[in-house]
Amino acid sequence: MSAQAAAGVGFVEPADGTTVSNPVHVKFAVSGMRVAPAGEVIEGAGHHHILIDGKPLAKGDVIPANDHAIHYGKGQTEAELTLPPGDHTLTLQFADGAHRSYGPEWSQTIKVHVK
């Protein structure tokens, strides 16, 4: 998990600053908490979300479900994204079973260029 941020979550791939093509394969890591499906709020557990061209959310904020906030509520640790060509930021945000953000310290933002 060399790409992992000190915050406890990180992108295993793609690497920050990488040029990618569709579909973009994303892989996530977490340390200090465990991955669990959405639905039940379990202390020390949660699931991943990707915020496309967004910023980390404050602790307790509910992550919206829309085209720019992708939920991985089944406990997924990797996925495929289709992004429009150009420069994008991807923010990995960890949240509890009710989709409440664990805060910026449980996020990582990278930049990618989609060709």
- Each residue's pLDDT, cut to its tens digit, for the chain (115 residues) gives 444 445 489 999 999 999 999 999 999 999 999 999 999 999 999 999 999 999 999 999 999 999 999 999 999 999 999 999 999 999 999 999 999 999 999 999 999 999 9
Given this model, what pLDDT does residue 4 score? 46
CB 115 within 8 A of CB 62: no
Cβ pair 84, 47 in contact under 8 A: no
**Contact, 93 vs 105, CB < 8 A?**
no
Contacts of 68 (CB under 8 A, 6+ apart): 51, 52, 53, 54
pLDDT at 102: 97
Q: Which structural domains are found in the chain, ordered by start?
A: 9-114 (2.60.40)
The order of strands in the sheet holding 9-13 is: 9-13, 24-30, 78-81
Q: What pLDDT does residue 2 have? A: 42
Q: What is the pLDDT of residue 25?
A: 98
